[in-house]
Structure 1
Amino acid sequence: MKIEEELNNINPIPVRTWNWLGVNDISIKEGLQDHRANSIKEGLQDHRAKYPQVLPGQKDNRFARFAAMSSKVGESRLWSSISYEGIGREASVQVLTRYNTGFYLETKPGEKVTDPVRISYSMEEGIPLIDNNAILVREGSEATIIVDYASMDSRKGFHNGLTRIYCEKDTTLTYVVIQKLSEESTHLGACAAKLEENAKVNYVLVELGAKYGVTNVQTDLLGKQSEAHMHTVYLGDRDRMIDMNYRINHYGRETKSGIEVKGILLDRCDKIFKGTIDFRKGAVKAVGEEEEYVVLLSEEVRNRSVPILLCTEEDVSGQHAASAGKIDENKLFYLMARGFPEAEAKRLIIEAAIRPMIDRIPEESIQRAVYEEVRRKLRNE
């Protein structure tokens, strides 16, 4: 596989618009990095075992299977049937053929697992992290998965990951992703999900790190009354580039979707949000809505939002909105008049805006870590 020095025209929007808007796709000055290519270049051994997942030390009886990803699983008919290019074809091919870590989780039919499963990936020593993950939620079961990406130090790193999800009938999955990579790292995160009748997936996505943060999430609501709800919070600082591309496709009758995004931008951050709800023919009485709100803390940030509704079915209901603004001066005055310093008053207002999203994380320890990271960035540390 040829490794390019730059990634061009990646994460494309479903329906192209005027080129001068700069939202159809993006290009970044970093290319795909490969652990095997580095091995040849530097004379190192294959790093396939460098990123072992944090999996249970013994068999977890709550699940039918919970293990490291293998080619036997990843290339099975079910997962091969999920056609999805994600951020870009080259990035997806790299994950599927050259991953150096990943997990496969399959629930038991009818089993409702109440305690979250946490999987942590910690980047270190500049070795690329390429993870291939799959989650199969069997009929009538429920589960919560938390995936945490972090850097052990401030060195430059590279992450390219793909998670494929399949939810059978009458299931509920909560899928949480926390991204806190170092400020010089590149993060490419993709996810594709398919839902059968009366299945529900709740996404909680937290984007706090990486110089280039590029994400793509596609959800297909295939079965009647299936649902997908996305809750995202992001903070962009310094010279970071953030590109989020979400798409929910309604195929089944009476399906529901929601995309809720809240963000904070400061310094010279460049951010693009692309949210698409697509009502396909046959999605009778489907309902979808999306909304983004971003707080702008600098005159130098670049904020672009593209909420899109597509429709080939008449009997549907869709809403979309995007808004941006500075901190409410009345709220700021109110708090400062009661003795709060300006910096503390701003922090309280910002945290109040994003709290509903962070509180959806099902572990308090992770919530506290996210709040601390937000506060650190607001202090420009």
Structure 2
Amino acid sequence: MSVDVQLRFDSEAITQYSKANQEPAWFLEKRLAGLKAAGELALPALEKTKIDKWNTVDFDPFQTTTKVAAANELSDLVKAQIDVDSVKNLLVQKNASTVFQAVSDELKAQGVIFTTFADALQTHGDLVQKYLLNVIALDEHKLTALHTAVVNGGVFLYVPKNVEVDVPLQAVYEIAGDNALLAPHVLIVAEANSKVTYVDTYVSGEGKSMVANSLVEVYVGAGASVQVASVRSLSVDVHDYSFRRATVERDGKMEWILGEMNDGNTVANNTTILKGTASIAETKSISVGTGSQRQNLTSQVQHIGTHTESDMVSKAVMTDEAVSILNGITKIEKGAEKANGVQAENILMLSDKSRGDANPILLIDEDDVKAGHAASVGRFSEESIFYLMSRGISRQGAERLIILGFLEPVVAEIPVEEVKNRLRQALERKLG
């Protein structure tokens, strides 16, 4: 049976969408190659998580909506993520449409390109083609192939050599409507000795059987510094699959700050490849599991260059009957002398029916290195509860303080105040 019969979309629908958006021929070829591969490849093999029953293909990929003229016309969901009164560098996507775009003259004067993925294909096609789907292959597994076939938005961010962007650049992705798909491709290129921060948030409105399938590719040049922060607060009606990957050259630094606040089933893989000498990777992530949701969250660093450093911290809070798998993988390749990789996975259990697995993994093929890991799964410390209650705080209040304190070191790192506040609100909502 062909893949076209199994899906709600086929090669003709994809071709029509591509031509309607004036995409270059080479990208349509990638789309069609992705569609073919999706019919042949298996789903990714995940540690202790089966996703064959999850929604991966039942969606209408190209649902569009109208644009708005001003930020104050955006949906309330989106406006909660931004400072409506001082919008400067912001892209907003809903389903398969960019509904709002604002880029400051100051940013353009620096030679920075911050635009939609669709616009970049038309106006910066050669530059996009140079980097696109190099660090993540379209045929890695069924989900990357599907993403390539039905990409319906995203961001292209290019920072020239020696340029430092001193304000965060922001994108908001909204999904709503039955069988809707949100499939943005985010491509970030930071040339040598540049610096930039990119922040995105994912929100959802009403709808059933929705799917988010996003890819993020980051290229960190020599001596460059890139910070990516992402907060996802999608509803129980959304199956969310996100794959993020960065490659870092000599003396470069990649920092990830991730808040997984979804209510529905979630798969996330975050990988950094330290290619250059003295390159650095830092990953900080938090998640809260509620209801009967399933989460499989992986943070990984591959050390290739010498004198590389990585630090991964993952924290999760589990309630109700939720299940969360936290995988931390530090891979030090042969020849990566003087590498130093550390990781910690910590899970706070609030329910007897929930389950949390912390899986620290060290894969070391070089002798002259340092590596370490820590993992913990447990409940509140009764001593801490007693101490706070002795100060006049109720048990419920004490528990809440401990939870928020447990997660705050990551929350505090979010570089946009509105997003930080939204993450705290999401925590309050999920913790009840």
With normalisation by structure 2, the TM-score equals 0.78
1:164 corresponds in structure 2 to: 217
Query: Residue 106 in 1 paired to residue 158 in 2?
Result: yes
Which of 49, 52, 66 is equivalent to 2:114?
66
Give me the whole-angstrom Cα distance separating, in 2, the residues matched to 1:310 and 1:320.
12
Letter in 1 for 2:141: R
Distance in 1, Cα, partners of 2:100 & 2:389: 45
2:384 match: 331
Among 332, 345, 349, the residue aligned to 1:292: 345
Change (3 A) 1:120 1:83: closer
Match of 1:89 among 134, 141, 145: 141
Which of 166, 191, 197 aligns to 2:250? It is 197
Distance apart, 1:344 and its partner CA: 1.3
Given residue 283 of structure 1, which amino acid in structure 2 is its aligned partner? Answer: A
Cα offset, 1:67, TM superposition: 1.5
Is the partner of 2:153 in helix, strand or coil? coil
RMSD: 2.6
1:303 aligns with 2:356: yes
Cα separation, 2, equivalents of 1:241 and 1:265:
11
Secondary structure at 1:92 match in 2: helix
Question: Structure 1 residues 37, 352: closer, same or farther in 2, change over 3 A?
Answer: closer
- Alpha carbons of structure 1 residues 276 and 167: separation in structure 2 relative to 1, 3 Å: same
1:174 deviates by 0.6
Structure 2 CA distance for aligned equivalents of residues 194 and 151 of structure 1: 30
Query: Per-residue deviation at 1:36?
Result: 4.4
Distance, in Å, in 2 between the alignment partners of 1:194 and 1:240 is 31
For the structure 1 residues 158 and 189, does the alpha-carbon distance in structure 2 shift closer, same or farther, using more than 3 Å as the test?
A: same
Supply the distance in 2 between the matched residues of 1:255 and 1:54 (Cα, whole angstroms).
40
Say if 1:365 and 1:67 are closer, same or farther in 2 by CA, change over 3 A.
closer
**CA displacement 1:278-315 (0-9 Å, x = unmatched):** 10011000000110111100000121222111111111
Residue equivalent to 1:52: 98
* More strand per residue: 1
Could you tell me which residue of structure 2 aligns to residue 17 of structure 1? none
1:176-255 equivalent positions in 2, closer than 5 A: 176-255=229-308
Of the three residues 20, 23, 30, the one matched with 2:48 is 23
Residue 113 of structure 2 aligns with an amino acid whose one-letter code is: R
Determine the structure 2 residue equivalent to 1:274.
327
Aligned-partner Cα distance in 2 for 1:324–1:83: 32
Q: Is the 8 A contact 2:218 2:245 kept in 1?
A: yes
CA deviation string 1:162-190 (max 9, x = no partner):
01110111011110110000122111011
Letter in 2 for 1:56: A
Shift of 1:96: 1.9
Does structure 1 conserve the Cα–Cα contact (< 8 Å) formed by 2:59 and 2:210? no
Counterparts of 2:61 and 2:431 in 1: how far apart (Å)? 38
CA change 1:28–1:270 in 2 (3 A) is: farther
Contact 1:156-1:183 within 8 A present in 2 as well: no
Cα distance per residue 1:23-55 (max 9 Å; x no partner) = 37654422224434889xxxxxxx998431653
Partner of residue 122 from structure 1, selected from 174, 188, 196: 174
* Whole-angstrom CA distance in 1 between matches of 2:197 and 2:256: 10
| Structure 1 residues 160 and 350: CA distance shift in structure 2, 3 A | same
What's the CA shift for 1:10?
4.0
Q: Is the 8 A contact 2:199 2:416 kept in 1?
A: no
Unmatched tracts of structure 2, length 5 or more: 9-38, 65-92
- Structure-2 separation of matches of 1:255 and 1:24: 31
Q: 2:62, 2:96 within 8 Å by CA — same for their partners in 1?
A: no
Contact 1:180 1:210 survives alignment (8 Å) = yes
| Equivalent residue, structure 1, for 2:71 | none
More helix by share: 2
Q: Is the 8 A contact 1:74 1:80 kept in 2?
A: no
Given that 2:331 and 2:362 are in contact with CA atoms closer than 8 Å, whether structure 1 keeps it comes out as yes
Identical amino acids, percent of aligned pairs: 22
Q: CA shift at 1:73, angstroms?
A: 5.7
Distance 1:85 1:299 in 2: 40
Gaps of 5+ in 1: 14-21, 40-46
CA distance in 2, matches of 1:311, 1:352: 33
Given candidates 35, 49, 60, the residue that maps to 1:35 is 60
For 2:67, the equivalent position in structure 1 comes to none
How many residues of Structure 1 are paired with residues of Structure 2 in the alignment? 362
In 1, the alpha carbon distance for the partners of 2:239 and 2:49 equals 20
Q: How far off its partner does 1:235 sit?
A: 0.4
Contact 1:98 1:130 in 2 (8 A): yes
Letter in 1 for 2:57: L
State whether structure 2 residue 194 is matched by structure 1 residue 141: yes
More divergent stretch after superposition (62-71 vs 282-291): 62-71
Contact 1:225–1:255 under 8 Å retained in 2: yes
Corresponding position of 2:45: 12
Q: For 1:192 and 1:241, locate their aligned partners in 2 and report how far apart those are by CA, in whole Å.
A: 22
The C-alpha deviation readout for 1:251-304, integer Å capped at 9, x for no partner, is: 000000111011100000011111111100110000001101111000001212
